A and B are shown apart, each in its own frame.
Chain A
Amino acid sequence: MLSTMLSGIILGSVYTLAAIGLSLQWGVLKNLNFSHGACITLGAYIMWTALGANIGYLPALLVVMILMFFIGLAIERVTIRPFFGKPEVEANIFIATVALSSMIAQAILLIYSGRDKNLAPAIAGNMNLGILSTTNHQLFILLVAPIILFAMWLVLNKTTIGRAIRAVSQDPMGAVLIGISTKKIYGITVGVATVLAGISGVLLGPIYFLNPHMGESPLTKAFIIVILGGIGSLKGTIVAAFSVALLEVLVGLFVGVTWGPLGLFAVLILILLFRPEGLFGAKLRRG
């Protein structure tokens, strides 16, 4: 039971990272970037390649972060920017990013083959904490996730670029009026979110296996978390991420692993019925 709770908390940390990226894009772009899941996969695979080159764990992570940022910029340029200011923005961006994510998955399949791969953990080995026994990698996640979240909070609240991102998220028109280039902010937002997706892929990799579709399930959960927590709410996202992760492991423990997604789906419907703005969302934005 206690170890189940621990794995729930660890899952929650990773989900938070994946969901924060999604929530950030959602808040700023007011649109869904569906390729976020494919970016989780991509991050894990780039890490696998980088680790294969024997450059050490942290340099490899740095390589992943830098590459993911530029991939994010490219994603924004190709599948998001062309559709702004035109009719059916929402539908077009969604379809384009869906198409892109299937392209990325297929490209990964072609390059790395579909066989499951093992991604090396940050620190190998197990740790025994009295009644609890856990892998070092899971402890690494517990340590790294709050650091990244705190860094995100610092960037968003204390730097010029972070303030600009929040300004665009709150009022794009007003942001333009005070001289913020929304295009640049959109690009940077998707870039940062893609980096977060990549990191969560790197952290998830050693827990599951790497395969071209490994990002889909975390993506579904990230969506549910963002809805649950309310769009653009950091606190809500964190609480929702841990609730979803705990619900998932508890349902897995008591009812059966395959019923976890069903439970989440039921929760999602209930939330949408009774509180569509999410548990912590400020205001309902219809459409």
Chain B
Amino acid sequence: MTDHKLTKGNIITYGLLLLVMMLIPFFIEDNYILHLLIVSLVWANVVTNWNLTLGYGGMFHIAQPTFLAVGAYVAGISAVQFGISPWICLAIGGIGTLITGILIGVPSLRVKGIYLILLTFALHFTTSEVVFHLKDYTGGSMGLTVPTFHLGTIEFSSVNLAPYYYIALISLIASLLVAKLLIRSNIGKALIATRDSEVLAVSCGINLYKFKLITFSVAAFMTGIVGAFYSHYIMVIGPELFTFSQIVNGFGMIVVGGIGTFMGPVLGSFAITFLSELFRDIESFRPIIVGAIIILTLIFAPKGILHELEKLFSKTRSLFIRNPNKEKVSP
């Protein structure tokens, strides 16, 4: 779908983007905007992993928001009930989610399409039932108050959000790198081949199930880590992690950014997060607006709004530069 080679131009673009992202906390004084950026980064991370399985792996499921919640609760419970340091909880959250991912993946990745959706849908409801049921550990519907990070003299608090921002940024970069490595590896090639033509791929001897399971588990692990981070950042985790709007918003980000594109969902998550913020005054209309955006995008721009903007951009460019593709045409 997209070009996976790192060209010089690509490296420069990504490098500049990274530089801008690293410098942002120095220029933004408003803590609220920084908070929104952190939330966007967290969601960018979630949808990157979701898109890795959904867009590239062809596994259509809704497990990623559940994995975020699982990571958050595993880390939160470890920190609160067992007094483990939040830094170690990041890893514990990742591993706990990895185990959940494998437990779900082993039976359900054998089946495709509707069945996988339903199994992950059932997982979503079951997890929230378990969380409400185990009140003594999870706090039930009251939520769980989770301690935050400590590191030397660095201040982690609601007035100094910059350290959180960097952790979120680093974990997003880690997820993007893992996704890129996976896509460029044989696993990714096999998965893309499978997505495009399953019959051909299987007849070439690709062990589909194994590759799917690996990708699904890796995505679960990365999402678990960011879930753990989210739990130590937001400091109170509760039932809102299981609301259905989590799934809808995640879909919105992927759809707006473009399913199966590498950076699309990342930008989509920033777009949806800040767009919902625009409608803060009419908060109760927010889900309706997001839903309408999703449906309209699917109908009129199925490759994502980003793709449409790109097309528009190249169209306007071709108005000024006459026939930009001329030199590419071989004689």
Query: Which A residues form the contact surface with B (CB < 8 A)?
Result: 26, 31-32, 78-79, 82-83, 86-88, 90-92, 94-96, 98-100, 102-103, 105-107, 109-110, 213, 216-217, 220, 223-224, 227, 258-259, 261-262, 264-265, 268-269, 272-273, 276, 286-287
- B198 surroundings in chain A (CB, below 8 A): 287
Is there contact, CB below 8 Å, between A276 and B115? yes
Q: CB < 8 Å: which of B244, B251, B284 contacts A109?
A: B284
Q: Which of B126, B245, B259 has the most CB of A within 10 A?
A: B126
Give 6 nearest A-B pairs by CB, closest first.
A103-B291, A99-B294, A99-B291, A106-B287, A287-B112, A102-B248
Taking the closest CB of chain B, its distance from the CB of A157, in whole angstroms, is: 26
- A269 surroundings in chain B (CB, below 8 A): 107-108, 119
Q: With an 8 A cutoff between CB atoms, is B156 at the interface?
A: no
Is there contact, CB below 8 Å, between B122 and A224? yes
Is there contact, CB below 8 Å, between B259 and A262? no
Taking the closest CB of chain A, its distance from the CB of B160, in whole angstroms, is: 35
Is there contact, CB below 8 Å, between B60 and A258? no
Q: CB < 8 Å: which of B111, B122, B259, B295 contacts A99?
A: B295
Q: CB < 8 Å: which of B107, B123, B129 contacts A272?
A: B107
Query: Which B residues form the contact surface with A (CB < 8 A)?
Result: 54, 60, 107-108, 110-115, 117-119, 121-123, 125-126, 129-130, 132-133, 198, 244-245, 247-248, 251-252, 255, 259, 284-288, 290-292, 294-295, 298-299, 302
Bound together, the chains give a CA A273 to CA B284 distance in angstroms of 42
- A100 surroundings in chain B (CB, below 8 A): 291, 295
Q: CB < 8 Å: which of A98, A107, A261 contacts B125?
A: A261
With A102-B291, A269-B108 as known contacts, state yes or no: A90 contacts B298, CB within 8 Å. Answer: no
Q: CB < 8 Å: which of A31, A79, A106, A258 contacts B288?
A: A106
Is there contact, CB below 8 Å, between A227 and B115? yes
Is there contact, CB below 8 Å, between B295 and A78? yes
Q: 30 interchain pairs (CB within 8 A)?
A: A32-B114, A32-B117, A82-B299, A87-B302, A88-B302, A91-B60, A92-B298, A94-B60, A94-B117, A95-B294, A96-B295, A96-B299, A98-B248, A98-B251, A99-B251, A99-B252, A99-B291, A102-B290, A106-B284, A109-B284, A220-B122, A258-B132, A262-B126, A262-B130, A265-B125, A265-B126, A268-B118, A276-B111, A286-B111, A287-B112
